[in-house]
Amino acid sequence: MTTSRGIPGRAFEHKIPNAEGRRQVAALVASGQLSVPQAAERYGISAATVRRDAAEFGGDR
């Protein structure tokens, strides 16, 4: 089992569980509708996660 942050027995889970939701966040950032900090605050995820999702889904600016 993959652990999250070294916590034994705790599997990693995305805060936004489906890829389409992460893709939408990346698109909002790529289009300039939201900045990385705004997206992080709105969706309750870290700025690093927003940047990683943007890179994964081709929206990295």
Q: What is the pLDDT of residue 10?
A: 59
* Domain boundaries, given as residue ranges, for the chain: 19-56
DSSP, residue by residue, 1-61: -PPBTTBTT-----SS-SHHHHHHHHHHHHTTSS-HHHHHHHHT--HHHHHHHHHHTT---
Higher pLDDT residue, 7 or 52? 52
Q: What is the pLDDT of residue 57?
A: 87
22, 56 contact by CB (below 8 A):
yes
8-58 confidence digits (pLDDT tens): 665 556 677 788 888 999 999 999 999 999 999 999 888 999 999 899 887
Higher pLDDT residue, 61 or 39? 39
Q: What is the pLDDT of residue 21?
A: 86
